[in-house]
Chains A and B, each alone.
Chain A
């Protein structure tokens, strides 16, 4: 079975540009999470979807960040405009059960560098 798929794996962009990260969860999983990992702050939950509906976006740092899940097999995380402090590794994870009740499976991540 394919795991969580993320694209692109690496993204380098200039400050002010729009960045879109993509995620395909494991088929049949109805919970999807976006995380950000930095050396300073470790892993942080940005947003959590259940059955394609955003349940908790309290971790989204600013209005520059937005996330969508138009269907059960696709989600995007968009940063507009991007800033150097957004440089981090962004992970998508999915789970068969709601919330953090079930085992979470992570994608390989997107390493974002904003110059």
Chain B
């Protein structure tokens, strides 16, 4: 079964610290991987999309890496701010299935 796991489920850091969010998946034959942010009571905001042929993507303070062989992706958020507090979701498109499989998310709290 193709599964996506995000550990830890919750994370609290002081402002200014770098955030490291982890995503692991059970099948290395992925098509792409997408990171989303969800604020309480809101929809999902796409942060970064990494194609299977890429090793990383960057957008501002965000950097996402992809290691298919180990079944892992990491989202780095540099110099965290209270506004970064949200739930971050990892979603994987496995090659043999066009559907997105979502992790349960990591809820981040950045303390001022």
Contacts and interface: CB of A to CB of B under 8 A. Distances in A.
**B and A form one assembly:** yes
Interface of A: 4, 33, 42-43, 45, 48, 56, 91, 93, 98-109, 111
B98 A101 contact: yes
A48 B34 contact: no
Interface in B35-61: 36, 41-46, 49
A103 B102 CA distance: 14
14 contacts: A42-B104, A43-B91, A45-B99, A56-B98, A98-B98, A99-B93, A99-B98, A100-B99, A101-B31, A101-B32, A104-B34, A106-B43, A106-B45, A108-B43
Interface of B: 31-32, 34, 36, 41-46, 49, 89, 91, 93, 97-100, 102, 104-105
Contacts of B93: 99-101
Q: Interface of chain B, helix or strand or loop or mixed?
A: strand
Contacts of A109: 42-43
User: What are the 5 A-B residue pairs with the smallest beta carbon separation, nearest first?
Assistant: A99-B98, A100-B93, A106-B44, A43-B102, A108-B43
Given A42-B104, A99-B93, 14 more contacts: A4-B43, A43-B89, A45-B100, A48-B98, A48-B99, A98-B98, A100-B32, A100-B98, A101-B32, A103-B49, A104-B34, A104-B46, A105-B46, A111-B41
